[in-house]
Structure 1
């Protein structure tokens, strides 16, 4: 009898042990933080630090992180717009096992292997401002400031209005591999052929993300093509560089300068009449939206197939495929440029 009782005790203990093990294997409910209750670690990298555009992005990212409350934000990157200087940051953040990496890419293909390795280590990866190669990088979403079509068409329409539909124009871009600029140029060429077939692009120059080089290249354009009627500056440093060259050449009001940059960088050129219109989006909002997307991707609340996304003070924004869209481009002129502080 005693032996039978001992066997029953052993069996009962085994059952309790199995129940306890089963409870330990049940995953905790998702709370948007780590299993220890720590904040989500989000690392955001610009193309380069220290310019007005990405300073504004940083402001927006910090605003969102503070508003959300459960974000441990790192904002860091290279001081030059070079992809080989971005890769070490990605590798370091991957080793640190951050939750999300968000990158504005200087080269869509060269950066992709590092992003792919991060994904393989369990780090979420999104891009913003300038995309990586979606297939090669494995990135989950691209936070796009506006569609390439909207930006390209807005640039060309503005140039036609200022320089004429049959103007000879030049483009001062960024690097030859810059994904956004190449996409905009492709739209611009196609749209010109459709709507302004007499408009002619005489040259495209690539100063990298260097305002001084944009200035000197525009000087060369004005000398080499004396009949040029307009210059596009399609990066946040190319535009002020091109405008400065036109102003110093004494051609303000004679050569139209149209492009993309921050109101802060362009205000002086707008005030003196060298530039009539600045086309851009709000980079503060872009940084803000990027952090909201990073959190949603990490928590699993933003998934493939979504068509809209709730982003704090921005309200509902559109999701098209694997792109989250900030909205249409804005125009800044002498009438409204003082209203913006980025």
Structure 2
């Protein structure tokens, strides 16, 4: 199996020397693993290129590690390429190169839902199967989208976590991003409905929703205000990575540490110290390693003809089990992943 990374500095060379590289792309002298840009053993007729939003991003390094693991199990040639900065224009040259080199499949986290479609269409016309993950394109542009979690699943997980942490009763508040954030508002609406309709949450009262505008200091200040305005507050849900980290920082140095629960959506690297010092019991996101692993098996299934991307198709995804294609070519990884003291040390993003 070939593992290789390419960045923006190589894009022009790749475009002008495509056919020269096409015949020898698997003969690089690089050594090591996907995480350091080297190559592993193995090989085969299946060749997969992974194109994240940008390189040097710990989140995408983790998804690439998962993709590399899957490629090893499948026996596929695998490479990661990408720009240094996350922009759609920076991704186009890599998509063009994949098409010109006749790769079997492209796994892409799109920097724009529409701007990449022309380049993707060219790749698909060259028989490249295109699987998006993490961030989708227009559904007409690709074969499959590997979705990390549904809005319903994200909302349900956050309520489940806060309920567990406050013993199923008490006052809670929400620290959101901006008041017009579409995804945040969708999750909040679903949480409000669930609190009203689910008897399991009959003793939990949502007393306030505030907005930190995804600004660290404002989110910090809003946390302080919540505690001052609601002295009986038992828990805070912050469905934004900026907000949960700022709230944890405030709680960690306050008399409310250990008394007011905090959960929401965060990343292991920003939340590790607060889990380890007892400020936060658990929080959620999704496992980007599993996301990359699933995307690679989906790409292989498309190339092998096991699936076409039609609704109802199913395929095997190794350690993750069997998955089914839903409407609009969407494959759902599953419910958000819970991070706590037992597993947070296993992740680096």
| TM more than 0.5 | yes
Secondary structure in 2 matching 1:331: strand
Q: Structure 1 CA distance, aligned partners of 2:145 and 2:178? A: 20
In structure 2, do the counterparts of structure 1 residues 92 and 310 end up closer, same or farther at CA, with 3 Å as the change threshold?
same
Is residue 150 of structure 2 the alignment partner of residue 147 of structure 1?
yes
Q: Structure 1 CA distance, aligned partners of 2:62 and 2:177? A: 21
Is residue 346 of structure 2 the alignment partner of residue 331 of structure 1?
no
Q: Structure 1 CA distance, aligned partners of 2:164 and 2:46? A: 50
Q: Which residue, 47, 53, 59 being the options, matches 1:40?
A: 47
Is residue 175 of structure 2 the alignment partner of residue 171 of structure 1?
yes
In structure 2, do the counterparts of structure 1 residues 293 and 217 end up closer, same or farther at CA, with 3 Å as the change threshold?
farther
TM-superposed CA distance for 1:140, in Å, is 2.5
Is residue 331 of structure 2 the alignment partner of residue 310 of structure 1?
no
How many equivalent pairs are there? Answer: 286
- TM-score normalised by length of structure 2: 0.68
Q: Structure 2 CA distance, aligned partners of 1:104 and 1:204? A: 28
User: Which segments of 5 or more consecutive residues in structure 1 lack a partner in the other structure?
Assistant: 1-36, 80-84, 208-212
Q: Which residue, 182, 201, 206 being the options, matches 1:199?
A: 206
Q: Which residue of 2 aligns with 1:190?
A: 193
* Residues 166-211 of structure 1: per-residue CA shift (max 9 Å, x gap): 52412344996675x565444334323433583144223342xxxx
**Contact 2:220 2:246 (8 Å CA) reproduced:** no
**Contact 1:52 1:264 (8 Å CA) reproduced:** no
Q: Structure 2 CA distance, aligned partners of 1:289 and 1:203? A: 36
Q: Which residue of 2 aligns with 1:114?
A: 115
Secondary structure in 1 matching 2:123: coil
**Contact 2:113 2:138 (8 Å CA) reproduced:** yes
**Contact 2:56 2:84 (8 Å CA) reproduced:** no
In structure 2, do the counterparts of structure 1 residues 270 and 312 end up closer, same or farther at CA, with 3 Å as the change threshold?
same
TM-superposed CA distance for 1:310, in Å, is 0.6
Q: Which residue of 2 aligns with 1:61?
A: 67
- TM-score normalised by length of structure 1: 0.69
User: Which segments of 5 or more consecutive residues in structure 2 lack a partner in the other structure?
Assistant: 1-43
